[in-house]
Amino acid sequence: MHQFRKTISALSIIFSVTLMGEYKISIIYESGFEFKSQHLLINDLKECSSKKEIENLVSDQDWIKDYYLAYKPFKKEIYLNIKNREPIFILNNKFFYDRKLSKFEYDNSKRNLILVEGPVDNPEDILKLIREIESIPNIQFKIQTINYSYVNGWDVNSDKTLIRFGNTLTEKRFKNFRDTSKYLLDIGKIPSIIDMRYKDGVALNYGK
């Protein structure tokens, strides 16, 4: 059983469910109600007939970051507080990943997350791209999708611009991106394509 300091926010969702074993369980989703897996958990809890079954079911949920499970003495009452993992991208419509690169199954929940597609061997590369692009001050490239292919390498689609990093994510390439972003801010123009794949510089395309 995991324990964490209980901080109930305005986003908390509270449910009360009566289980097969005649336990009454109060469930608090501290991070709000975001995943289809949360619906499934409530349904599965209804089938539990013992405290052990409840503990095993909750501990098996890969989308739970932490939880607090308490029993009221001499009464069949259980209190369950759950804190969700907070995903930032979805990889190949199979898995969610959070900022610590914890992986948990994508359950087709509709979320406003970055969609990543391609034969990605190292999810840390995705996080590097997100952090680098989000770190640019004053130019907010809102990332919508990231695509990787052996032919084109890394293509990042934002609401404004397609940013092409190629196959190799080097510090030199990231520095070129930062310098280019500073230049774009100075001139007050945002291109439709920023292509970082050139050895001797960066190509900018202002076409629509």
Cα distances (Å, whole numbers) of residue 110 to 36, 107, 194: 9, 9, 30
Domains of the chain, residue spans:
13-84, 87-205
**What tokens were used for 104?**
């948990």
How many Å apart are CA 156 and CA 142, to the nearest integer? 10
The single-letter code of the amino acid at 112 is N
How many Å apart are CA 167 and CA 155, to the nearest integer? 9
Q: What is the pLDDT of residue 35?
A: 83
CATH 3.40.630.10 fits 87-205, yes or no: no
128's CB contacts (< 8 A; 6+ apart) are: 169, 174
- Flag whether pLDDT at 2 surpasses 50: no
Mean pLDDT of the chain: 85
187 φ/ψ angles, rounded to the nearest 5 degrees: -90, -10
Q: What is the pLDDT of residue 51?
A: 82
How many Å apart are CA 50 and CA 17, to the nearest integer? 14
